[in-house]
Structures are given as structure tokens and as C-alpha cells.
Chain A
Amino acid sequence: MDTAVPEPEGDFGPRDWAQHPPYLSPLYKSTVLRSPRKPLIPMKQGLSVRTGPVFGHDSVDALDGDLTKNGRVNGEPIGERIIVTGRVLDESGRPVPHTLLEIWQANACGRYVHRWDQHDAPLDPNFFGAGRCITDAEGRYRFTTIKPGAYPWGNHHNAWRPAHIHFSLFGPSFLTRLVTQMYFPGDPLLPLDPIYNGVPEGARELLISRFSIDVTEPVWALGYEFDIVLRGRQATPMEG
């Protein structure tokens, strides 16, 4: 990790709570005891939060962005090969270049490598399910992976998570940090999922990727596009 942090140019705009899920979202039962209940205290942005870690290209290997290759032991992973690509932008539409993305997901059968996952579905010896990449100068990223399966969870009777990929992003400061999940268009489980529906209506749709025939590679893999918008710097009045 490189911690060479340029002097920040100004404050970041606020977290837009019309876009983000509230801490307490009772249909997602784990929030009941894990949601802060006291009001958040407003804090002026100092250097300690306007700066943030910078992960360079040397933190990522060539295979880190290809989940169909980075877990291989003795063959190809099973499942539908897909490409997931998009741009990381700020709220003004400016690209966020050279920023780290980390993803993790279940395999095609809906099973995670994680040692706690006891879902009765097979592990794939050739699929690990985690990847990383760094955006280019235009804020673009690209992963090749396997389409994850839905899986059951204990939230309520017959609860199933829609297929999703977890995304983690840093952006230019500690304040721009974002962890989210990307979903797939037309998934019938979306209207039933308390995690997806914890996000306000009108905002949650931004978590659904778009199928793209242009990203799709002939005789190889379907393509999905997913753009991500991080907090941007506040507009500063022109001087002079």
C-alpha cells in the first residue's frame, strides 16, 4: 500500500441519506440489534478523513480481476461465465481513477468459500470467488467471473438472497468508502429481499446491473454493466 496522499482540495459532499439504507430496517432482522439508534453527530471534515489510503497497481496481480482463473486448481470453474464492467464516478460525473475495487461472491450454485457457509450446495474446487482491480484513468474497471447463484438464508421462512456480487470501494478519501452489492436485471427474488429493499425506493434500482450486448463477447461470456457513484467534492465558489 502506498500512503502518498495528495493534499485534498476541499470537503466532500455529505452522505446522501436519501440514497442509503437507514441503520434500522426491521425486515432485515440482523439490523435490529446492530443498528446505531442515537443520532449521528455532525462532524467537520478534517485531514484525518479527507485523506485516505491509496492502493497502487502493484497491489493487484493480473489474475486478481479474473475470477474464472484466480481460483483454478485442476480445471475451469463451473457456471455461466460473465463480464462485469463499469465506471466509478463522483456525483459530478467525474471519473474516479486508480481506485481499488474488491469483490466477493458465491459460486454458480450459491455457495461461498467462507468456512461458515453451510448451505447444502457444492463448493467448486476451481472457484474462489474473490477479486480485485484498480480503475483506469477514466474510472473504468472490469472483472471476468461466474454468475453467482441465489442461496437460502435464515432471515425468515423460505428466505433466498437474489444473486449478487459484493463490491468494496475506497475512492479518494476515508469518507468516500463504499461497500455495496450488485444485482442482476429481472431477478424475481429482488422484490422479496429485505437487504435490497432496505434501500429507499427510487435509489435501490441503481444496484441492478444492465445486461449489455456490447460488453458481451461472442462465443465467450455475457456482459453486464454496473456504474458506481461515490461522494464527490463539494462545489467551491469561483474566486476572483
Chain B
Amino acid sequence: MSQTLKQTPSQTVGPYFAYAWTPELYGRRPLATNRLASRDTPGEHIRIEGVVYDGEGAPIRDCVVEIWQAGADGRHAPGAAGFGRCGTNDAGYYFFDTVKPGACDPGHAPHIAVTVFARGMLSHAFTRLHFSDEAAANEADPVLASVPADRRDTLIAQRAEVPGGVVYRFDIHVQGEAETVFFDC
């Protein structure tokens, strides 16, 4: 079928999305949160956390990070992990409590799709999060291979085992020397 209609243009989320997107702060029911896994979700339970920075290294406090991921078995199936949304706090910090996904695309390393929205971003940005303890799979991953070698690290969340559990650190730099790789896809 030929394309006949033009895509509706994107606009910024602006600064005032929180009462709609994370309305639990306003005593209302959210549709999606940053807690994707419940106690009985199968898989390794992990926290993903980081800070979103602007081009001068200042934290962005009016940013929303959304993630979409497979469950531990690599399937996007009912009851598996799925979709999460987290607004950054005053320190630019976000986190997700989830499970580590299995690989969902043949030949690809396990990863999570990430979307970044903020005041000052007229169009959102896509990236993807890989895991530092998947070195061999990352080595073979065709998307990582398509990224200049000196920028690949921006896509690798660093694993740490802390008393509370497993934490992966994934800072997002929307601009600057350490700018996160964003994709057109």
C-alpha cells in the first residue's frame, strides 16, 4: 500500500508531564511504573539505575525514561517483564526494578529498548541498554558492531553486586563528549 498520509510531528513533553505520566505523586493511579517485576517474576531480579545529563553535565530533572524488554526467557509474553516508565528526580536519577531479559533476537545480545523524553527535546531519542556481564554476546551483537568502537561503552550498563542485590548503572548523556549513542530505527 502506498503511503498517503504524513506522520504527525513530534513535540516536547514539556516540564509538566508528571501529573499525567507518574500521577501516583498526585494520588492517582499510574498506568505504568518503574517496577516491572513482582516477587514471583521468573529470572534474575535486577535494578537498572542512572542519571540523565545535559550537554554541560548537569542532571536533567524533567526527563522521562521508558523501557521495553523481554522476560528472562527472551519472550515479550504476558506476565514477563515488559514496559516501564520512570521520571527523573531532582538529581536527574531514575531506576527500574526488573528482571534481566534473555536474548530475543537471534544473534543479538540481551538488551533493553530505551526511549528518552525531556523538556528541551522536541523529538524523543531511542537507545538500547546492554549488560556488562554479557561480554561474549556483546562482542557478537550486530547493533553494537555498527556503533563506533569508542562510543560502544555508552550502551553498556555496568553490573555491580551490592548488599541490596544486583544493580546495573546506565547513565544517559543526551549531549556532550560522552553523548549516549542514539539510533534511527
**From A52, which residue of chain B is reached at the shortest CB distance?**
B68
User: CA separation between A5 and B6, bound complex, in Å?
Assistant: 26
Q: Give the complex CA separation of A46 and B3 in angstroms.
A: 22
CA distance A218 to B136 in the complex (A): 67
Tell me the minimal C-beta distance from A19 to chain B in angstroms: 5
Please tell me which one of the listed residues A15, A25, A46, A168 contacts residue B7 in the complex, with CB atoms under 8 A apart: A15
Q: Given A20-B123, A34-B175, A180-B8 in contact, is the A40-B76 Cβ separation under 8 Å?
A: no
Given A23-B121, A33-B120, A42-B183; A92-B2 close (CB under 8 Å):
yes
Chain B nearest CB from A50 CB (Å) reads 10
- Give the docked Cα–Cα distance between A235 and B3 (Å): 8
Closest to B125 in A: A36
Contacting A at CB under 8 A, from B138-178, are 142-143, 146-147, 151, 174-175
Query: Does A3 lie within 8 Å of B82, measured CB to CB?
Result: yes
> Does A199 make an interface contact (CB < 8 A)?
yes
Instruction: For chain A, residues 169 to 190, give those with C-beta under 8 angstroms from any C-beta of chain B.
Output: 174-175, 177-181
Interface size on B, residues (CB 8 A): 75
Give A207 to B5 CA distance when docked, in angstroms: 14
Does A33 lie within 8 Å of B6, measured CB to CB? no
Query: Which B residues touch A46, using CB under 8 A?
Result: 104-105, 108, 143
- Tell whether, in the assembled complex, residue B8 and residue A181 are in contact, meaning their CB atoms are under 8 Å apart: no
Query: Provided the pairs A23-B122, A43-B143, A46-B105 are in contact, do residues A100 and B31 lie with their beta carbons within 8 angstroms?
Result: yes
Residue pair B6, A203 in contact (C-beta under 8 Å) = yes
* Contact B122 A25, beta carbon cutoff 8 Å: yes
Residues in B neighbouring A103, C-beta threshold 8 A: 20
Docked CA distance A114–B70 (Å): 33
A221 at the interface (CB under 8 A from B): no
Contact check: which of B2, B31, B184 meets A102 at CB < 8 Å?
A: B31
A227–B96 alpha-carbon span in the complex (Å): 34
Contact status A206-B8, CB under 8 Å: yes
Known: A102-B20, A104-B17. A181 touches B184 (CB 8 A): no
Interface residues of B in 95-151 (CB under 8 A from A): 104-105, 108, 111-113, 115, 117-126, 128, 142-143, 146-147, 151
Q: How many residues of A contact B (CB 8 A)?
A: 86
Partner of B54, one of A33, A45, A52, A100: A33
The chain B residue with its CB closest to the CB of A71 is B28
The answer on a CB contact under 8 Å between B17 and A174 is: no
A-B contact list, 29 entries, CB within 8 Å: A1-B32, A3-B78, A3-B80, A20-B9, A34-B121, A36-B125, A36-B174, A37-B175, A41-B181, A43-B183, A44-B185, A46-B108, A47-B76, A48-B70, A48-B76, A53-B82, A91-B4, A103-B20, A112-B16, A114-B16, A128-B19, A166-B11, A166-B13, A166-B20, A168-B21, A195-B12, A206-B9, A229-B6, A230-B7
Residues on A lying within 8 angstroms of B by beta carbon are: 1-5, 13-16, 19-23, 25, 28, 30-38, 40-49, 51-53, 55, 59, 89-94, 100, 102-104, 106, 112-117, 128-130, 132, 166, 168, 174-175, 177-181, 195-196, 198-200, 203-204, 206-207, 227-232, 235
